Structure 1
Amino acid sequence: MEIEAYADRIGDGTGLAAELESAFGPAETVVIRELPGGNANDTLLVEWDESRYVVRIPPTATPAPAMLADVRREYAALETAAGTAVPAPELLHRCRDASVVGDEFFVMELLDGEVIEERVPDRFDSPAARERIVDETTDALAALHDVPVPDAFADAPATSEASLGRELETFREQLAWAEERTAEERRVHGLHDLADRLEDRLPERPDDGEAGGRTSSDASDGATAFVHGDYKPDNLMFAPGDEADLVGVLDWEMAGRGDPLADVGWLLSYWEQDGDPSIMTEEVRERYGDHDYFEMLRVFVEDYSGFTSHPDSPGRGHIVDRYEAATGREYRHDEFYRALGTLKLDVITEGFFRAHLEDSAAAKPTYPVMRMVPFVLAEQGRQILDGEVPLRG
């Protein structure tokens, strides 16, 4: 047996190998390695003779309570997606015995394809192929929101519920938890300002009309649907062939019952367009320009959106038009939902930074940059709410 990484978690691998043997039969050649990428659940690649499997397991550094790194929720979400129009990895095995690797885990198929982030492969570098990528992305999200909400999410945490007001309250609680430690290092005042402004702009009830006034915190135009919670370009895998076919939606650990328009807003918050203002402020450059991880921050801010910001890639308005046509659901309150997405990511990254401060050895390699990321996300949220980043810019 060859263990290229992760030995501190699984030891000599005999426990994991025995569990896999009970599910897939014996193997003469076993190789276990950790796959890079992702900030929540860990991902292992297991070569089992000629077969290859993916193991999903919670990280040792917990990023935030009841928000991320929940393999039980991810497993239930993948079960729900199975057999629907939403492409997702096939579940192959589940282990509830925490003594095997220190926590529950599950095994799923390894998909063949690639994730499109900074740039598209040459075979997709045409206006028609770019449009197909965006249409596949949008159609899968629309199909996901048409899947009945499973009973498994009836008692899901507040981050998966449809109430926007309760979701904002949850984000504040998560932020307070993170800042118990991160505030000792620095405070991101813009993050709190963003939360306050969003609370003041909670959408009105659909049937209130012009005279409806403010709403209760339970108001939502999107009703309730099965939501992904982290639907964005780097969680989508496209086929290796010449056709830009979506073959898999990945990373379901924040899925559950929720407001589908929040899913749309989350996707759009990642969809930078050509001409959008930079979120890299002079304050951040002056404060962290010499930081060891500033280049990683620069890549996150300037290079991540290489596909979406290309002039030949369809913009945010195209996504909204296609989503509305597919679902019959009107995407209202765009600025609120996009800014809500930036707040959600802001709170998550602050949780990652706490995990780094508490146990840097167990934290993921990307966590140190989370010292800086919340500042630029708070700026992005401000720009959206101030109307500086229009939907159809």
Structure 2
Amino acid sequence: MDIEAHAERVGDGTALAAELESAFGPAESVVVRELPGGNANDTLLVEWDDAEYVVRVPPTSTPAPEMLADVGREYAALGAVADTEVPAPRLLHRCRDASVVGDEFFVMELLDGEVIEDRVPERFDSPAARERIVDETTDALAALHDVPVPDEFDADPDTPEAYLERELRTFRDQLAWAEERTTEERRVDGLHDLADRLEDRLPERPADATAFVHGDYKPDNLMFAPGDAADLVGVLDWEMAARGDPLADVGWLLSYWEQESDPSIMTDEVRERYGDHNYFEMLRVFVEDYSGFTSHPDSPGRGHIVDRYEERAGREYRHDEFYRALGTLKLGVITEGFFRAHLDDSPNAKPTYPVMRMVPFVLAEQGRQILDGEVPLRE
């Protein structure tokens, strides 16, 4: 067997190749590469002769210990949506032996498609294709919330109120963990203010209104097919799946869905403090360019998503400001964890992490705007 390893954590690839041989049979040629993108579980591409597989494994260190990188949860979630209306990669193998690559891992199929992060590919750049992308996105989320909650998640909260309380508690704990290092550089008071306001506005929800939730359902975790059909072929990154409040999934998606009429979140404070920072242009791209698809005048807005979700799910989306602001708090806390990872181990941190010095400020501002009614659901 000829093994070519381009991923530091697998060493010379011998142990991984031996494990995969037990699952897929022998191969004459094996190539292992790291796939870029994402901030949670690591992704490896394995070329096994003419076949290609994806390996998901926890990172060697995680910037959000309680929120990301749960391989067992992701494996259970993918198993739950297999053979349902929710498109996702098929599971192929699981290995609990941490000696192989330093942690447990699983193998799934490699999907053929493209993730739309900011601008749509030219083949999708029409009002009809844009609407299909949004409808496919919304329909899959509604279908997910009809999937029975896997037995592996029985320990998760059994009411929306308990789920939301746990979420806010986790966010506060994660923020405190990140600030053990980040407050040596600066403090983002706006995230604490946002958490306080959300705790005061916890919505009343029916006790039986829980569902199977993705926890990270957003545009860059969705893969669309090649060709002109704009078909959704895969929902990715399931490590935060849970039994929880489905409206939190909707609000998280909507918090990413900026519209042309939304006020800017690039505050004067951020511009004055960081205008000459080496990564300020990257911040501008994060704020302005990431939403290039959602804010385009030919793309359906947040109201379209809500209307279609309510129709498909048979569930009313209420307490919009709370759920969207909860999404911005969640992302703000996660990015503060990324900034800690940069401070703790800059040489090995992801290249985007230095910009996280600034990102939590604009997210705190976004949450404030939403709760203050400055960013209406509909244009």
Change (3 A) 1:111 1:121: same
Q: State the match for 1:304 in structure 2.
A: 290
CA-to-aligned-CA distance 1:122-169 (integer Å, 9 cap, x gap): 1111111111100000000000000011110112489x9853223212
Partner amino acid, structure 2, of 1:360:
S
> Residue 342 in 1 paired to residue 328 in 2?
yes
> How far apart are the structure 1 equivalents of 2:59 and 2:245?
27
* Structure-2 separation of matches of 1:161 and 1:236: 28
Counterpart in the other structure of 1:2: 4
Seen in structure 2, the aligned counterparts of structure 1 residues 95 and 157 have a Cα distance that, compared at 3 Å, is farther
TM-score normalised according to structure 2 size: 0.96
Pick from 352, 362, 365: which aligns with 1:376? 362
Question: What CA RMSD, in Å, does the superposition of the two structures yield over aligned residues?
Answer: 1.6
Partner of 1:95: 95
- Counterpart for residue 73 of structure 1: 73
Q: Which runs of 5+ in 2 are unaligned?
A: none
Contact map agreement 1:161 1:258 (CA 8 A) in 2:
no
SS in 2 for 1:257: strand
Distance in 2 of aligned mates of 1:149 and 1:205: 19
Shift of residue 61, structure 1, vs aligned partner? 1.9
State the AA in 1 paired with 2:270: V
The alignment covers a number of residue pairs equal to 376
Amino acid at match of 2:83: G
Give the secondary-structure state (helix, strand or coil) at the position aligned to 2:292: coil
SS across alignment from 1:65 = coil
Matched, 1:225 2:211: yes
Residue 130 (structure 2) pairs with residue 130 (structure 1): yes
Match of 1:12?
12
Give the AA of the match of 1:263: D
Structure 1 SS opposite 2:258: coil
* Alpha-carbon distance change, 112 to 308 in structure 1, aligned in 2, over 3 angstroms: same
Aligned twin of 2:306: 320
Q: Determine if the alignment matches structure 1 residue 245 to structure 2 residue 231.
A: yes
Superposition misfits of 4+ residues, deviation over 3 angstroms: none
Q: Could you tell me how far apart the structure 2 residues matched to 1:241 and 1:36 are?
A: 23
Q: Is the 8 A contact 1:55 1:105 kept in 2?
A: yes
Q: 2:140 maps to which residue?
A: 140
Cα distance per residue 1:169-203 (max 9 Å; x no partner): 22111111111111111100001110111111111
Change in CA separation of 1:157 and 1:203 when aligned onto 2, cut-off 3 Å: closer
Distance in 2 of aligned mates of 1:387 and 1:381: 10
**Quick check: 1:161–1:256 contact (8 Å CA) kept in 2?**
no
In structure 2, the partner of 1:392 is: 378
In structure 2, how many angstroms separate the alpha carbons of the residues matched to 1:116 and 1:344? 22
1:236 aligns with 2:236: no
Shift of 1:292: 2.3
The structure 2 residue matched to 1:258, chosen from 215, 234, 244, is 244
Aligned-partner SS, 1:164: helix
1:269 equivalent in structure 2? 255
Task: Please state how far the C-alpha of 1:3 moved relative to its aligned partner.
Answer: 2.1
TM-score, normalising length: structure 1: 0.93
In the alignment, the residues of structure 2 paired with residue 42 and residue 387 of structure 1 have an alpha-carbon distance, to the nearest angstrom, of: 38
Residue equivalent to 1:210: none
How far apart, CA to CA, are the structure 2 residues paired with 1:385 and 1:124? 34
Tell which deviates more after alignment, 352-361 or 133-142.
Answer: 352-361
Identity of aligned residues (%): 86
2-structure distance, mates of 1:163, 1:109:
32
